[in-house]
Amino acid sequence: MTTELTSAQNRKEREFQRREQEILTAATSLFKKDTWEDVTVSQIAEQAEIGKGTVYKHFSCKEDIYARLALNFHYQLMAVFKSIERNQDTLAFMRDAISESFRFYRKNTVCAKLSSYCKRVDFKQRISPTLRAEYESLDLEFESFFGSLLQTGIDDGTIKSQPITHLMVGLEATFEGALSMMMNDSYTDFSELKEDEFVEVITSFMMNALSAEAEKTTI
């Protein structure tokens, strides 16, 4: 009886997860439009061919759908970082990480837009406590991963000596600013660079900002 009950519970959980993924897939397809913020829960339910009430069994509000998609996106991005070859110096790893970040964001444009939107403080105050806690945990994982990496670079003299938080804030601000310019196509206002060339310019700029050797040549 216990085995049968466990099996039934497992089937129910698999069905619940399958339905949730269908909701996320439907939402993603609708969010591809320029007016993605105007998409309603009713439209998501219709796209997923389910009732609106079923959506609310999985997500308490539309913001929770945004958050789940953004969180899943960042879990995948962390997996990309962890797959990068570690048997190289810190600067080489950072260049690979920055390049892979741009590639991943450009490949997943819907989640890239959601990622930026979901970082807003007022947004995180509107999502469920469970998702908010998940965000905080994931943020700490990213900070620990790159904080340790940057500290290694400072210790071996390849990265300029600065407070880790200053380096991370600078990197994130530059990356997010570049992404915003790419999503709005505003980088073309400054030059005739193609997107690949723009990414390379920004990547090189970020690497020079990190490099202890680059700092020496400017003194």
CATH code assigned at 29: 1.10.10.60
Provide the 10 A C-beta neighbour count for residue 181: 16
Q: Residue 184 is part of which domain span?
A: 61-218
* pLDDT score at 31: 92
Contact between 113 and 36 (Cβ < 8 Å): yes
CA dihedral 86, 92, 98, 101 (to 10 degrees): -30
Contact between 146 and 96 (Cβ < 8 Å): no
Phi, psi of 33 (to 5 degrees): -75, 155
Q: What is the pLDDT of residues 116-133, one digit of tens each?
A: 889 888 998 899 999 999
Query: Which letter does DSSP use for residue 161 in this model?
Result: -
7 pLDDT higher than 70: no
Contact between 48 and 22 (Cβ < 8 Å): yes
Q: What is the pLDDT of residues 165-195, one digit of tens each?
A: 999 999 999 999 999 888 887 877 766 788 8
pLDDT-derived band at 111, boundaries 50, 70, 90: confident
Task: Clarify whether residues 54 and 127 are in a common domain.
Answer: no
Residue 59 tokens, joined: 């997500």
Provide the domain count of the chain. 2
Task: Clarify whether residues 26 and 45 are in a common domain.
Answer: yes
